[in-house]
Amino acid sequence: MAGDGGLASSDCGLAGGSRGAKRAPAAQDLECLRPHEVAAKLKISREHVLRLLRAKKLPGFKMGRVWLIQRRELEEYLRRLAGAV
């Protein structure tokens, strides 16, 4: 999918890291999801997930052109949403 890049969902892409790229949290084994995976899980469109990421309503980070969402941060986001209802 365009904008999702080619990383596997369980790979946050932290092993190599490119020069000058913003570093994600230090743990090497973080499980990350791409926007289309989050969209399927939440039953919303991929474009809506991207809007939430850009608006910083959904926690995530970019690795180059690829948005990644840590599974534990997604779970925390969903808990906060459930508590706000």
Q: What is the pLDDT of residues 6-25, one digit of tens each?
A: 445 556 765 544 445 555 55
User: Quick one: 62 exposed, middle or buried, by C-beta within 10 A (0-12, 13-18, 19+)?
Assistant: middle
Of residues 29, 31, 36, the one with CA closest to residue 3: 36
Each residue's pLDDT tens digit, 34-79: 999 999 999 999 999 999 999 999 999 999 999 999 999 999 999 9
Confidence tier at 30 by pLDDT (50, 70, 90)? confident
Round to whole Å and give the CA distance between 63 and 75.
21
